[in-house]
Amino acid sequence: MSREKVFVPLNIAVLTVSDTRNRDTDTSGQALQELAESAGHKVLDRALVKDDIYQIRALVSNWIAGDDIQVVLITGGTGFAGRDSTVEAVTPLFDKTVVGFGELFRQVSYREIGSSTIQSRATAGLANRTLMFCLPGSTGACKTAWTIIQEQLDSRHGPCNFVGQL
């Protein structure tokens, strides 16, 4: 007897890290919310914080400590500017790093922006059964990243996906 795989909607939180954006100008966070919802997932929370290690870590720690959020999408703070601190804020929380995400993101991004992609510190990891993705702050980069992330958040995708780990 063949079993058809069914889609499992996930609970997602979207965090924008920026010293300059507000809710009205947060096109990257808005794009991630719309992409996640159009894929059938539920965005339970969306926030915007300054590019500060401790503000980022506090909010993300709260999300991963609870039982509601299964995936955290973070946009911004992944470059090399002096205040870019998302990676430093989040990676100490990882139980496991998803090394392949950053590698694949830069490979796909190379086709769009060339060698400038080497400055991307996009990364992902699993913490307390919560999957986290750290993405660049540009809306285009978020859309590019979603082309990779979407399949891994789809329980029907094979040969493997992250849904069973969450």
Over residues 65-101, the pLDDT tens digits come to 999 999 999 999 787 787 889 999 999 999 999 999 9
What per-residue string of b and e applies to 21-36 under the rule 16 or more CB within 10 Å gives b?
A: beeeebbbbbbbbebb
> What is the distance between the alpha carbons of residues 83 and 64, in angstroms, rounded to a whole number?
24
How many CB atoms lie under 10 A from the CB of residue 138? 17
For the record, the structure tokens of 77 come out as 């703070």
Decide: helix, strand or coil at residue 2: coil
Q: What is the pTM of this model?
A: 0.94
Domain boundaries along the sequence of the chain? 11-155
Span 24-58, pLDDT tens digits: 899 999 999 999 999 999 999 999 999 999 999 99
Q: Which two tokens stand for residue 50?
A: 């300054």
Superfamily of domain 11-155: MoaB/Mog-like domain (3.40.980.10)
Is a pLDDT exceeding 50 seen at residue 1? Answer: no
- Taking the C-alpha atoms of residue 76 and residue 78, their distance in angstroms, rounded to an integer, is 6
CA-wise closest residue to 100 among 78, 123, 80, 118? 123
